[in-house]
Structure formats: structure tokens, C-alpha cells
Chains A and B, each alone.
Chain A
Amino acid sequence: DQQVKQNSPSLSVQEGRISILNCDYTNSMFDYFLWYKKYPAEGPTFLISISSIKDKNEDGRFTVFLNKSAKHLSLHIVPSQPGDSAVYFCAASLVNTGKLIFGQGTTLQVKP
């Protein structure tokens, strides 16, 4: 049973607009959430994270929102740039385990 789900396999956005990537999870014990970005032929790179004690974390153009009651998190990228085109993975973990559970990824395409 998949504990972390990204239900949209792909997303296409115009340059300058907002990209919103969504992620749902089933295990209410997860207490730390991360987003990774992956370009072709490269490994995933860490983008941004959020602890379950917060509902928002912002880093430049990237903001992650966490809705614990809905078991949902989202990544907002604004403004979107063509260089943001990549596969985005959300991941969840239980603090003190170091074990990450990944979603299946969403491919973002930002068109010039």
C-alpha cells in the first residue's frame, strides 16, 4: 500500500505563472516532509522540507504548505522558470528513523 501519493503524473505551466504540485499521505505518524527535484541523468536533489509542527515553509520562490488534517502537502513555485522543469518527488519520514517514503513523482514542464 502506497503511503505517499502524487496523483498527478505531469503538470505543464507557463513561465512566470505559479506551479502547484500536490502530495497526499496516509500515515498520520509521519512528522517530517520533503520535496526533491530530479533532472534527467541526475540523482534527486533536496529542495525544501517542513516539520509537522508547521503549516508553511518558504525558501525563495518555493513554498511548501502542510495540511495535517487533510494529510496533504503542496509545493508552490512562483514565478515558475523553464529551469524548474524536472520531476518533483515528495517524501515523508518518521523523525528518528531516517527512513524516507517517496511518492511516485510529478513531471513539471515550464514553457517559455
Chain B
Amino acid sequence: ETGVTQTPRHLVMGMTNKKSLKCEQHLGHNAMYWYKQSAKKPLELMFVYSLEERVENNSVPSRFSPECPNSSHLFLHLHTLQPEDSALYLCASSQDTASGTDTQYFGPGTRLTVL
């Protein structure tokens, strides 16, 4: 149990659908992250939130829209995705972002398939 949960664990959607991924952390952390892991590729950082404020947007297309309503919850809203967006989407949290030595704790991920 890492203290970071993600739902759903698996999602299949069409290119015209709108869906949302949810992440919740029970660790009292101030920073939350979205990563994307495509097959045979490294984890790619998508977004970083610190104290509910977005501090990093790693050139992610606008069809991915993050939301952080409070420090425990992070959402990734998806709309008009492409098949190449199929990947494992991982959420992580850490105590803060200011210190690069804070360990990031990951959730189990959502396996997304776009048809």
C-alpha cells in the first residue's frame, strides 16, 4: 500500500469520448504529479501541482486537462484523445516540490486504451 490510489485501473475510450482519471493521496503531501508511460519509453512528466497550483506543464497537448481541487486529489480530464495517447498514466505525490530529494510515491496507474 503506497498511500496513492488511482481510479479507474483500466479505461477504454473512443476518440470522441470525455473521461477523467482520478488520483488520491493519503500521505499529507503538498505536491502531486501526472506521468505518462508509453510502451518501451521512459516515464514522461506531464504536470506538477504544488499546494494546488500548477507549477509545471511539460508541453502537454490541451486534450489533457489537469485539475487539483485540493492537495489530496488530482484529476486528469481527457477529451478527443488519439490512439497514440494509449499508455499507462501514473500519479505520484511528494512532500514538496522545492526539494528535489523528496521521494515521490506512485499510484498503481490507469491503463488507458484509445480506440
Question: Which of A's residues lie within 8 Å of B, judged by CB?
Answer: 2, 4, 31-32, 34, 36, 41-46, 49, 51, 89, 93-105
Contacts and interface: CB of A to CB of B under 8 A. Distances in A.
Interface of B: 2, 4, 6, 31, 40-45, 48, 50, 56, 90, 92, 94, 96-109
Nearest to A43: B106
A45 to B, nearest CB: 7
A95 B100 contact: yes
Nearest to B58: A99
Nearest to B91: A43
Contact of B108 (A41, A101, A104): A41
Q: What 5 pairs between A and B have smallest CB-CB spacing?
A: A43-B106, A98-B97, A95-B100, A102-B43, A93-B100
Contacts, number: 69
Given A2-B42, A98-B94, A32 B109 contact: no
A31 B99 CA distance: 12
B106 A44 contact: yes
Given A31-B100, A98-B99, A45 B41 contact: no
B106 A99 contact: no
15 contacts: A2-B42, A34-B103, A43-B4, A43-B92, A43-B108, A43-B109, A44-B106, A97-B97, A98-B31, A98-B96, A98-B98, A102-B42, A102-B43, A104-B42, A105-B42
